[in-house]
Structure 1
Amino acid sequence: MKIISYNVNGIRSACSKNFLGWLQATNADMVCLQEVKALPDQLGEIIGLIEQMGYHHYWHPAEKKGYSGVALLTKVKPKHVETGCGEEWIDREGRILRADFEGFSLMSLYMPSGSSGEERQVKKYEFMHFFSQYISMLREQIPNLIISGDYNICHTAMDIHNPKSNANSSGFLPAEREWMQVFLDNGFIDTFRHFNKDPHHYTWWSFRANSRAKNLGWRIDYQLASLPLLDRLKQVRILPDAVHSDHCPVLLELH
């Protein structure tokens, strides 16, 4: 089973760069999208083509047009889909969408960025605190959980091209990195690092200074799997050749 997570930075923009052709060629079983920046009723032809590929599709857009929003595409019909998390401000921003299947559940997550200023950094910390508690309670009912998405956090110095100059940058702050470590220690596997311990693997590059061509990036997109799924992990790859966004996809394969 192939599961892709991809922050498309606007699905309409990504489709103008042949995202749908790429998606068809990739033939993933399940796809978690973040930052779709669109309402489903704005995507008529795009949704039609997604359906032609055999995907069931579920959307959780933000109330604010052209902002945030997550989606989940799956060729396996879910037993249940949970839109949002019940926390009003988070659900208004369209950040959490979960589908339950036989054997595991899959969540598409788009964590807030704090890079625009102190006010959003405070909201990011508020989200992180809520999310830890939310997932702890959820795992009592759903022990087999994959959380795929844009966490907007580089976990370690290996996950960012210049840790020294970014020591005070949102996304690499000590409190954010510590939160990620605690989250993993509470029963999750960073599936990419489970298979690959090498540096210089990134999932996001600034549009500035030719950063992508120079591979001056950040690894902020993850496929985290709860510990009971360890034996089902087959391989994980970052796919930097997919260039529909300033992010690239992360592909997880399960046995």
Structure 2
Amino acid sequence: MKCISWNVNGIRAVLKKDFVEILYALDADVFCVQETKAQPDQIEVDCELYPYRYINSAQRKGYSGTMIFCKKEPLSVHYGIDRPEHDTEGRVITIEYENCYLVTVYTPNAGDGLKRLDYRMDWDKAFADYIRSLNKPVMICGDFNVANEEIDIKNPQSNHHNAGFTDEERNSFKENLLSQLSDTYRTLYPEKVEYSWWSYRFKARERNAGWRIDYWLVSPELMEKVQDSKILTDIYGSDHCPVELDIEVA
């Protein structure tokens, strides 16, 4: 099973940048998208690969949002994490298959000046509780808005107190998610340096001054089924690049 996750930073914008061609070229079984920034009636994707499509949009227009494209119809689809205070921004979709759940998530950013850090900490706990409530192994993908270790960011020292690399966010990521899930890329490639997000400022992508904040996490019992976990740095169209998981599950 080939799975792709991509924060497109606006699906209407990326549709003008060969998104449909990328869908066909990657030919994934499941293609998860974060930060759609659109309502369902604003999303028109002409791609015959995916008869099943699920959208969770934010109440606030032009903000946040997630989407999943599937070749195979899932057994069930669930939107959000069953917490009203966290379910207005369209951040989570869960699809169920026979042997596992697949969850896509767009984790809240702590924001400029860390103004939303407390909300982010509450979100992490609520999301982790939701994942623990699922009664099958899980695969979780998306933009987690945190670089876990210094190897995952180009300039760790200068970013130590910035959103996405604070001690609070990194510790929360470890305690709430990595305590129950495996980071597929880092498990397979403990020393490899690649990034999945680059600021649009200062020619960061040209200089490869990036962050690895997009992940595929899996339950420990699924880790042995992982064939590969990749960061597709040669694909453009967003300030993020896609991340891929190849795994032997039905």
TM-score normalized with structure 1 length: 0.94
Aligned to 2:188: 195
Shift of 1:88: 1.4
Q: Deviations over 1:119-174 (max 9, x none)?
A: 32221111112112222222xx12x1011000001100000001110110111111
Q: Which amino acid aligns with 2:246?
A: E
Shift of 1:35: 0.2
Q: Deviations over 1:159-216 (max 9, x none)?
A: 0001110110111111111122223553211001111123431100000111001100
Shift of 1:98: 0.3
Q: Deviations over 1:80-113 (max 9, x none)?
A: 0001112113211011100001111100100000
Q: Which amino acid aligns with 1:218?
A: W
2-side partners of 1:184 and 1:101: how far apart?
Answer: 21
- Alignment of 1:207 onto 2:207: no
* C-alpha contact (below 8 Å) 1:200/1:215 kept by paired residues: no
Map 1:231-246; keep pairs closer than 5 Å.
231-246=224-239
- How many pairs are equivalent? 248
2-side partners of 1:180 and 1:165: how far apart?
Answer: 20
> What's the % identity of the aligned pairs?
38
Q: Which amino acid aligns with 1:92?
A: T
2-side partners of 1:23 and 1:198: how far apart?
Answer: 30
- Alignment of 1:150 onto 2:143: yes
Aligned to 1:82: 78
2-side partners of 1:178 and 1:18: how far apart?
Answer: 37
* C-alpha contact (below 8 Å) 2:114/2:163 kept by paired residues: no
Aligned to 1:58: 54
Aligned to 2:19: 19
* C-alpha contact (below 8 Å) 1:239/1:249 kept by paired residues: yes
Relative to its length, the structure with more helix (as a share) is: 1
* C-alpha contact (below 8 Å) 2:9/2:35 kept by paired residues: yes
Aligned to 1:129: 125
Residues 119/17 of structure 1: CA separation in 2 closer, same or farther (3 Å cut)? same
Aligned to 1:219: 212
Secondary structure at the aligned position of 1:33 is classed as strand
Shift of 1:115: 2.3
Aligned to 1:99: 95
2-side partners of 1:42 and 1:89: how far apart?
Answer: 25
* C-alpha contact (below 8 Å) 1:184/1:190 kept by paired residues: no
2-side partners of 1:187 and 1:202: how far apart?
Answer: 23
Q: Which amino acid aligns with 1:91?
A: D
Q: Which amino acid aligns with 1:36?
A: T
Residues 235/199 of structure 1: CA separation in 2 closer, same or farther (3 Å cut)? closer
Shift of 1:117: 3.6
* C-alpha contact (below 8 Å) 1:79/1:102 kept by paired residues: yes
Secondary structure at the aligned position of 1:129 is classed as helix
2-side partners of 1:89 and 1:205: how far apart?
Answer: 30
Secondary structure at the aligned position of 2:186 is classed as helix
Unaligned runs of 5+ in 2: none
2-side partners of 1:165 and 1:115: how far apart?
Answer: 17
4+ residue runs over 6 A deviation: none
Q: Which amino acid aligns with 1:122?
A: D
Residues 185/83 of structure 1: CA separation in 2 closer, same or farther (3 Å cut)? closer
- Alignment of 1:31 onto 2:27: no
Calculate the aligned-residue CA RMSD, in Å: 1.2
Shift of 1:116: 2.7
Q: Which amino acid aligns with 1:137?
A: S
Match of 1:178 among 171, 195, 203: 171
